Copies of this chain bind each other. A is one copy, B any other.
Amino acid sequence: MTAMHGLAEGPACPAPVAETERIQLGHGSGGKLSAELLRTHFLPRFGNPILLALGDGAVVPGAETLVVSTDSFVVRPLEFPGGNIGHLAVHGTLNDVAMMGAVPRYLTAAFVLEEGLELTVLDRVLDAMAGASRATGIPIVTGDTKVVEHGKADGLYITTTGIGSLGADFRPGPDRAAVGDIILVSGPVGCHGIAVLAVRDGLTFDAEVESDTASLYPLVASLRSELGDAIHVLRDPTRGGMASALNEIAQASGVGMRLTEESLPIPEPVAAACAMLGLDPLYIANEGVLVAVVAARAASQALAIMQGHALGRGAARIGQVIADRPGLVRLATGIGGERIVDLLPGDQLPRIC
């Protein structure tokens, strides 16, 4: 009944597609183009109350309240000083769960592998994931592997999903920053992005900068047990850096923010690399640092807890939440001026995580 006619005729030449009608690298930046892509293409289609909360993950009601977070990791190169894509894939997703105030419990991992990937490279990545899973005590409970032809990926991409349980007593969220709150950062900023950039571009520094990739949950647990609900917002400033994280918080909470430049813990090598390359450290990705917006009465104690913890030794108080100019983040510069720390329109450093 069925016959085949061999090769069908090719389709007619399609009309050319304008650049603005195509995906650009800037759509992956975590900045304005990313937000626009999400707002105009994704959210109108998938809108539901849980997704529209737009946190780092999803709170899904159940007999026990769960947090779910998912991220794809596409960092280039796969390995860099201080870690590899496997560390990021475990720590990054666990951190998103922890920033929601949840206790991370389970991870899943899905791999897109490029034909020709060296198995020794794969094994180093898997070792990193297994080591991070063991160190954090969070098992990878299910997974998937797919293989695509050589030239259809870049070594490998990893997507991890984290599940955590959320208590009723600890619900930090990006919309909870209140006027008068103090803004803290748990450690030096810019290390991850500069470490990746340096190895990618073959730059060498006198002092090597290493990625800060780490699971931040233990630090969150300390803050929670001591200060509980006085911790209003937690955020790990990854893609898009401190600037993007703070802008999102200012907008979600409808508050202004004022940072002081001299208080920002920017390591000398990061500052030097940024100065040379024309980059702003506030936009550089971090993978083991958190921003906390804390009630003023708890700020000193929160800072002390951070500084007494292995993950927060370099913690600093960097600014305050203010009523003036809601949605804007401003930086008081060392020379007495002030500038607006805006969202980037596109991508400063693509494929950083």
Binding site for B on A (CB under 8 A): 1-8, 10, 17, 21-28, 34, 37-38, 41-42, 45-46, 48, 50-51, 55, 57-58, 60, 62-64, 66, 68-74, 105-106, 108-120, 122-123, 126-127, 129-130, 133, 139-149, 151-154, 157, 159, 161, 163, 165, 201-207, 268-269, 272-273, 276, 347, 350-351
Judge whether B140 and A51 touch: CB under 8 Å: yes
Judge whether A28 and B203 touch: CB under 8 Å: no
Judge whether B22 and A140 touch: CB under 8 Å: no
| Bound-state Cα–Cα, A91 to B58, Å | 20
Kindly list chain B residues whose C-beta atoms are within 8 Å of the C-beta of A122.
Answer: 23, 41
Kindly list chain B residues whose C-beta atoms are within 8 Å of the C-beta of A161.
Answer: 68, 70, 108, 110, 161
Judge whether B272 and A1 touch: CB under 8 Å: yes
Given contacts A63-B63, A127-B45, A142-B70, contact A23 B163 (CB under 8 A): no
Kindly list chain B residues whose C-beta atoms are within 8 Å of the C-beta of A37.
Answer: 145
Judge whether B2 and A272 touch: CB under 8 Å: yes
The minimal Cβ–Cβ distance linking A46 to chain B, given in whole angstroms, is 5
Query: What are 20 A-B contacts defined by CB distance under 8 Å?
Result: A1-B272, A2-B206, A2-B273, A4-B272, A6-B203, A21-B118, A38-B145, A41-B119, A46-B133, A58-B106, A62-B63, A62-B66, A62-B165, A70-B142, A110-B159, A148-B157, A148-B350, A148-B351, A152-B153, A153-B157
Judge whether B207 and A1 touch: CB under 8 Å: yes
Kindly list chain B residues whose C-beta atoms are within 8 Å of the C-beta of A109.
Answer: 46, 70
Q: How many copies does the complex hold?
A: 2
The minimal Cβ–Cβ distance linking A350 to chain B, given in whole angstroms, is 7
The 9 closest A-B pairs by CB, nearest first: A28-B147, A58-B141, A159-B159, A58-B142, A45-B130, A63-B64, A161-B161, A70-B108, A2-B272
Given contacts A23-B115, A72-B112, A161-B70, contact A141 B48 (CB under 8 A): yes
The minimal Cβ–Cβ distance linking A45 to chain B, given in whole angstroms, is 4
Judge whether A204 and B5 touch: CB under 8 Å: yes
Kindly list chain B residues whose C-beta atoms are within 8 Å of the C-beta of A2.
Answer: 205-207, 268-269, 272-273
Kindly list chain B residues whose C-beta atoms are within 8 Å of the C-beta of A123.
Answer: 41
Judge whether B350 and A149 touch: CB under 8 Å: yes
New A-B pairs, 7, CB < 8 Å, besides A27-B145, A45-B126, A153-B153: A2-B273, A6-B203, A23-B119, A58-B106, A58-B108, A70-B143, A74-B112
| Bound-state Cα–Cα, A153 to B351, Å | 13
